Structure 1
């Protein structure tokens, strides 16, 4: 696996003028390389299911199918991709946040606000940040931290569950935590997770989505109940879900 070298953005808006203006603003972002793909027909976006797109800017008012319906369909095959609604109306706030909206931008677009949204997208995706490196046997591995779903300790061994596969290594819990971005959350002596992949939780368990659809129930020990909630709500607040 490798670092992301470019932020790939899909823009879906039935207005050529609005889509071109948004593209112009996005391409002026100077903190990270960025590439755009325009869709004036939302069905084309849904049909392609482009796997290498990192985020979607989505108009709400489009003929045939509105942006909220498009977002619901996107969530079925990509539950974690940041979706940012861009609209001339403020009447959809409650509906858009039902589909885990990353942000909501009202037209006319303010470039400074857009730049801040891009900053948060990069943080959410861990783009340009250090990889999680480890070894097992005679092999060395480097995995983007954003691809790691959770760690499971089993005595001296640790299993590293990612979006694409599972690895095994010999690492102490302290070593793992020191290598990770600080938003990762320890919930048990045996489990450390990436809050990006949390589907639900209660006082005793966290439901994690592996591979987008496969659910795993992880236990929260009494020791970590308070710190888990504190860190998770802080994570959500920073990312404005």
Structure 2
């Protein structure tokens, strides 16, 4: 597993590295760790090959939130954990799907809990493909690119980032097929990819693509709980 620590404080970065090395010993893990003391150095090197990034929010130049936005524009599966001296900044992590945040000074127990959350996040974001069979042929589509799935008469419509595929089927069948993946039903006959949620409102769900879907009163509690769990309980 490849991990980056981005913090302009050498002392704080060294502490995170010490915790990572301790976690390795205690959990029989093996990490490749690299430390960056400037956000620009990290962004110049970043190629989407890190599994987890520990990111200080308050840094000169591009702050941690700006760095996280840049990361997310290229990589949807990396686990981001913010490190901050001021907890009020951390709420902005929702916008970039951060796993969680840690307030300095960071203790080891808190650190290890967040790292375990990162592992769960990575597992749910691993690339998976499914096959769509319709009159035009058989298509292999990436689960990570599905925004939502809706039922329309006897068909299921797979709304993608740049396309839409249809196939005969039922919501029950696709729910069984997608079991364990980050999808939840916002209203009867509509499964939403939790990663693409921008806002959960009173009676609707806004996606990062700008689309707004209905949120039924019956589904709202479960849907909201699924989203909070997906986000690591942040």
Task: Tell me if both proteins adopt one fold, taking TM over 0.5 as the criterion.
Answer: yes
Unaligned stretches of 5+ residues in structure 2: none
Matched residue, 1:3: none
| C-alpha separation in 2, matches of 1:104 and 1:198 | 19
- 2:7 matched to which residue of 1? 13
Aligned position for 1:218: 213
Counterpart-to-counterpart distance in 2, 1:165 and 1:52: 27
Structure 1 segment 179-198 matched on structure 2, within 5 A: 179-180=177-178, 181=180, 184-198=183-197
In structure 1, the partner of 2:38 is 41
2:152 is matched with 154
Picking from 7, 16, 36, the partner of 1:22 is 16
Quick check: 1:96 aligned with 2:90? yes
1:120 maps to 117
| Runs of 4+ in structure 1 over 6 Å off | none
The Cα shift of 1:194 comes to 1.9
Number of matched residues? Answer: 221
* Alpha-carbon distance in structure 2 between the residues aligned to 1:208 and 1:31: 39
Which structure has more RCO (C-alpha within 8 Å, separation ≥ 6)? 1
Does the CA contact (< 8 Å) of 1:133 and 1:142 recur in 2? Answer: yes
Kindly indicate whether the alpha-carbon contact (under 8 Å) linking 2:6 and 2:56 is maintained by their aligned counterparts in 1: yes
What is the TM-score normalised by the length of structure 1?
0.70
Q: CA deviation at 1:177?
A: 0.9
- Is 1:228 the equivalent of 2:220? yes
Alignment match, 2:72: 78
Q: CA RMSD in A?
A: 3.6
Q: CA deviation at 1:105?
A: 2.2
The 1:235/1:171 distance shift into structure 2, 3 A limit, reads: same
Alpha carbons 1:75, 1:99 under 8 Å: kept? no
| Residues 1:206 and 1:31: Cα distance change in structure 2 (over 3 Å) | farther
- Structure 1 residues not aligned, in runs of 5+: 1-6
Q: TM-score, normalised by structure 2?
A: 0.72
